[in-house]
Structure formats: structure tokens, C-alpha cells
């Protein structure tokens, strides 16, 4: 079972400035709590017992909150001195990982994945990276991930309107050593420069999990989170 997670929590939340004050995106208040509270609570409920928080913008706000809210949690903070992109953030955080395999999630997205099931699939496939995929209908905010009959990821389609499709839910199981053996620039995108460019070079598989999903990156979904997560506390 996977026990260690990385939460990417360095986002600026630029698109939320109209509804949220100057805060890291994952610290935006939702139903009376910082959004990251819901992310951490889900991970803990799924058996994760060690978390690396990848932080950057106004990191002291998140660090102080996590230390106060979770004083006994086994935690580390991977601090970006400057924005490194999602790939650079993952690389820096992975350098602190103690496990061979880590779970990676976004601090501004809650995807209530079954982590035991996700890891079991990753292990059975002997994959380098496994992605949790969320089925969606009538959307244009996300691109689509395509798999073959063996559940291997074969392509990533650009954002446009789709009647239905599988989206990248931003939850990954990653083999740390395999990822770190590549020569990466200091600043790069995990999605564009790793997932998309290495889809034919590394064993990447997907698993569909049709569970609760919310991404607070835009004001409309941020407001939706207020209602939906407010009844889940």
C-alpha cells in the first residue's frame, strides 16, 4: 500500500482573484476551511501517513496552517524559491521522498480516488506512472486522455468541447527513481514535458474512477465547492 503523498500547493490562484483575496489557491476558504483541508483529510482517510507539501507563493500561510492543524502529521515542506512549474515542483518534492513510490495530487483539486485500488492497479501493471481518470460529459475546460485496450495511455487531446471523455484528474502514482533519472531542466511542466512527451517512452497507464471531483481553479467551480463541500464536513 502506498503511504507517502506529495501535494502540489504552490499555485497563485490568479483566476480566483475576483472572489478570493491574495492567498495561495489551495488556501482559498471553502465552507469555512482552507480548501487544502479537504485534500489532506481525504488522503488521511485513505491511509496516507506521510505528506510532502510542495509550496511556493506565500508559503508561510500554508506552512503555519498545516503545522497548527496537523501537529502530529509526518510532514515535510518542499519550498520553491521561485516558480518551477509543476514538473520542477514534483522533481524538488521527490528529492525529499523516502518511499520508492509516491502519490501526487493537486492542492486545488479534490478527487476522491480509491488510493488502494489506484496503487494496486499501478503495481499490477508494473507502471512508471499511473493516472486516475475522471469520466466527464459536456465539458470544454479539460483535455481528454485516451487509453488502449490494455489501459496504457496513448495520447492527450487538447482542450475543446467534448460531449464525453476521460480527463486527467491530477492524481498520479509515480515511481520516484525512474522519474528522477531523467535530466530535467529547473523549470518544466509535469503535464506537458513529462506525461505528454514521455507517453511513448515510459509505461504510463490509467484507471477510471468515477468518484467526487472538484477543481476550484475558476470562480464558478469555487462557488460550487462552497455548497458541495459544506454538506460534507
- pLDDT 10s digits, 161-203: 999 999 999 999 999 999 999 999 989 999 999 999 999 999 9
pLDDT tens by residue, 98-126: 999 999 999 999 999 999 999 999 999 99
Q: What residue spans of the chain are helical by DSSP H?
A: 35-45, 59-69, 85-94, 115-125, 176-180, 219-230
pLDDT at residue 81, as a whole number:
87
Helix, strand, coil abundance in the chain, percent, nearest 5: 30, 30, 35
> What number is the average pLDDT over the span 206-215?
97
- Quote the CA–CA distance of 205 and 207 in Å, as a whole number: 7
3-class secondary-structure state, position 63: helix
pLDDT at residue 217, as a whole number:
86
pLDDT at residue 123, as a whole number:
97
Q: How far is CA 87 from CA 10, 18, 69, 120, in A?
A: 12, 28, 28, 25
C-alpha cell at position 39: 485534500
Dihedral of the CA atoms 37, 38, 40, 41 (nearest 10)?
A: 110
C-alpha cell at position 187: 523549470
pLDDT tens by residue, 45-98: 999 999 999 999 889 999 999 999 999 999 999 999 888 999 999 999 999 999
> What number is the average pLDDT over the span 9-17?
69
Q: Look up the pTM and report it.
A: 0.95
Residue at grid coordinates 472538484: 214
Domain 4-125+170-199+215-230: which topology? Spore Coat Polysaccharide Biosynthesis Protein SpsA; Chain A (3.90.550)
**Picking from 6-15, 59-68, 80-89, 143-152, which range would have the lowest pLDDT averaged per residue?**
6-15
pLDDT at residue 17, as a whole number:
60
Taken in order 100, 105, 110, 113, the sign of the CA dihedral is negative
Please, are residues 111 and 208 in contact by the beta-carbon 8 Å criterion? Answer: no
Q: Where are the domains of the chain?
A: 4-125+170-199+215-230
Amino acid at each position: 500500500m502506498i503511504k507517502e503523498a506529495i501535494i502540489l500547493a504552490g499555485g497563485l490562484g490568479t483566476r480566483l482573484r475576483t472572489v478570493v483575496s491574495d492567498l495561495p489557491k489551495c488556501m482559498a476558504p471553502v465552507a469555512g476551511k482552507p480548501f487544502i483541508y479537504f485534500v489532506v483529510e481525504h488522503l488521511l482517510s485513505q491511509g496516507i501517513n506521510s505528506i510532502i507539501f510542495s509550496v511556493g507563493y506565500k508559503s508561510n500561510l500554508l506552512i503555519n496552517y498545516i503545522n497548527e492543524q496537523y501537529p502530529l502529521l509526518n510532514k515535510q515542506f518542499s519550498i520553491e524559491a521561485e516558480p518551477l512549474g509543476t514538473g520542477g515542483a514534483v522533481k524538488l518534492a521527490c528529492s525529499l521522498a523516502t518511499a520508492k513510490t509516491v502519490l501526487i495530487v493537486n492542492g486545488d483539486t479534490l478527487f476522491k480516488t480509491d488510493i488502494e485500488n489506484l496503487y494496486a492497479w499501478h503495481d499490477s501493471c508494473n507502471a512508471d506512472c499511473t493516472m486516475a481518470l475522471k469520466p466527464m460529459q459536456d465539458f470544454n475546460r479539460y483535455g481528454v486522455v485516451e487509453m488502449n485496450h490494455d489501459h496504457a495511455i496513448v495520447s492527450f487531446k487538447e482542450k475543446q468541447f467534448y460531449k464525453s471523455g476521460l480527463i486527467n484528474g491530477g492524481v498520479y502514482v509515480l515511481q520516484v527513481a525512474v522519474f528522477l533519472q531523467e535530466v530535467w531542466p529547473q523549470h518544466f511542466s509535469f503535464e506537458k514535458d513529462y506525461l505528454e512527451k514521455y507517453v511513448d517512452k515510459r509505461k504510463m497507464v490509467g484507471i477510471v474512477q468515477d468518484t467526487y471531483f472538484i477543481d476550484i481553479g475558476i470562480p464558478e467551480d469555487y462557488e460550487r465547492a462552497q455548497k458541495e463541500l459544506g454538506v460534507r464536513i
